[in-house]
Amino acid sequence: MLLEVDIANNGHFHPLQHDQEPPKNIEEVPFRRQDRRILNSRKKRIMDRKLIRCIIFSGLLLVVLGGALVAVWWQFETGAYC
């Protein structure tokens, strides 16, 4: 027998009606509060990893661009650009 959470009834379980079909994907499944917390924390960790990668990539890009500008400046200072 399938069960679903009745959110309006303080999260108590009641049997799934016969005319209702079971959910086809994860977004349609009614979650308990703890399940929502787990999914939300997982999403936050994934977004934190993406943010860290973006910050590191941006920092490396700025370091490379700064090094290129220093190299160009050095070339012009020594007169080796001719």
Q: Given the structure tokens 């400046």, which residue do they identify?
A: 73
Q: φ, ψ for residue 39 (rounded to 5)?
A: -65, -40
Low-confidence winner among 1-5, 44-48, 61-65 (lowest mean pLDDT): 1-5
Per-residue pLDDT of 12-52, as tens digits, reads: 555 556 667 777 777 677 767 777 788 889 899 999 999 99
- Per-residue pLDDT for 11 more than 60? no
Provide the 3-class DSSP secondary structure of residue 26: helix
Q: φ, ψ for residue 16 (rounded to 5)?
A: -70, 135
Q: φ, ψ for residue 66 (rounded to 5)?
A: -65, -40
Q: φ, ψ for residue 25 (rounded to 5)?
A: -140, 175
